[in-house]
A = this chain, B = another copy of it.
């Protein structure tokens, strides 16, 4: 029969928005009790309408993650301890958790090299090399390739959360991603203070999709297994 399993369709936008915000809560980017920006401003920042945004907020309120006060604002309400009801994936310190940040090593628009898997539609891509931290301890280096068709990126535009940058500066957001975790060795451009190129380490490949059939981003992450591990929580 048809060996054609289909690619998943995009979820309703308000669901994606809710999950985007919930991710920010889980990663610590949104703290307990913090007040969100006004709905109107937030809607324009996220390139959506107030109605859609409010549906997302309604979802979060229903999950007990948000307290909505008329005339005052929307307040984060952190529920229960770690590993709430949301399945998370990320790099964590061996001791658990950690507030993520990143330092850009290099950013350049380049021709896609031949050793990259096929993704996107353009022949060029923006290459970003970063060093990643959890609580100010370096845990990984990564190389991100963003298809040129998605827009131009400059160093000044980057924030700690790349996906947030994509949304605010380029007007699209990542709706789907796939990680493949394996083992590898540190690349030759690894900063000397991080480690020696060739050292065995954890290795993550990630494809990211937006609202089109072809992946728009491909990234490789090399993480130090003595300091961090890839964590997946399942409910």
Binding site for B on A (CB under 8 A): 1-2, 4-13, 16, 19-20, 24, 29-31, 33-38, 41-42, 45-48, 72-73, 82-83, 87-90, 92, 175-183, 200-202, 225, 229-235
| In contact, B47 and A181 (Cβ under 8 angstroms) | no
| In contact, A181 and B202 (Cβ under 8 angstroms) | yes
Please give, as numbers and ranges, the residues of chain B lying within 8 Å of A19 by CB-CB distance: 235
- Partner of A182 from the list B11, B38, B229, B233 (CB cut-off 8 Å) is B229
Name the residue on B nearest A75 (C-beta).
B11
| In contact, A234 and B178 (Cβ under 8 angstroms) | yes
- Partner of A225 from the list B4, B7, B183, B233 (CB cut-off 8 Å) is B183
Please give, as numbers and ranges, the residues of chain B lying within 8 Å of A234 by CB-CB distance: 82, 87-89, 176-179
| In contact, B177 and A200 (Cβ under 8 angstroms) | no
Evaluate whether A34 and B8 lie within 8 angstroms (CB atoms) in the complex, with A89-B234, A232-B90 already known: yes
| In contact, B38 and A177 (Cβ under 8 angstroms) | no
Please give, as numbers and ranges, the residues of chain B lying within 8 Å of A90 by CB-CB distance: 232
Minimum CB–CB distance for A23 against chain B, Å? 9
Please give, as numbers and ranges, the residues of chain B lying within 8 Å of A36 by CB-CB distance: 6, 8-9
- A and B contact pairs by CB, cutoff 8 A, 21 listed: A2-B45, A5-B29, A6-B36, A6-B37, A6-B46, A8-B30, A8-B36, A9-B36, A9-B38, A9-B73, A11-B235, A19-B235, A82-B235, A88-B234, A89-B232, A175-B235, A177-B233, A180-B230, A182-B202, A182-B229, A183-B201
